[in-house]
Amino acid sequence: MDLSYSCVNHNCSFPGANSFEMTFKSESIMDENNVASLFCPFCGNELILVRVPDVFPENLSKDRTI
Ligand SMILES: [Zn+2]
């Protein structure tokens, strides 16, 4: 399972059409609790963990936290 971290800052300066996102292969992360907090390089907001396989980002409510 891939782990994806997404910036949920509506004022993010990321130039892409969607939110800035970083994705890691699950095999590269032993335990998500061991991952240090990740921050968006564009706005400095803390990135929110999104689980990729089950839920597609476009189906998520913007105000919902997982
Ligand atoms: Zn951002």
Strand partners, 48: 6
Name the token pair of 30: 């032993």
| pLDDT reported for residue 62 | 59
Record the pTM: 0.61
Residue 46 Cα to ligand 1 middle (Å): 8
Q: Is residue 66 in some structural domain?
A: no
Q: Is residue 65 in some structural domain?
A: no
**Using an 8 Å Cβ cutoff, are 10 and 63 in contact?**
no
| pLDDT reported for residue 57 | 56
Residue 41 Cα to ligand 1 middle (Å): 7
**Domain boundaries, position 50:** 3-59
Mean pLDDT by 10 residues, the chain (66 residues): 87 93 76 73 92 57 57
Residue 19 Cα to ligand 1 middle (Å): 7
Q: Is residue 48 in some structural domain?
A: yes
Residue 20 Cα to ligand 1 middle (Å): 6
What domain count does the chain have? 1
| pLDDT reported for residue 14 | 96
Q: Is residue 64 in some structural domain?
A: no
Instruction: State the Cα–Cα distance between residues 10 and 18, nearest whole angstrom.
Output: 10
| pLDDT reported for residue 37 | 81
Q: Is residue 10 in some structural domain?
A: yes
Q: Is residue 20 in some structural domain?
A: yes
Q: Is residue 17 in some structural domain?
A: yes
The residues, any chain, with a CB within 8 Å of residue 49's CB and separated by 6 or more, are: 3, 4, 5, 32, 66
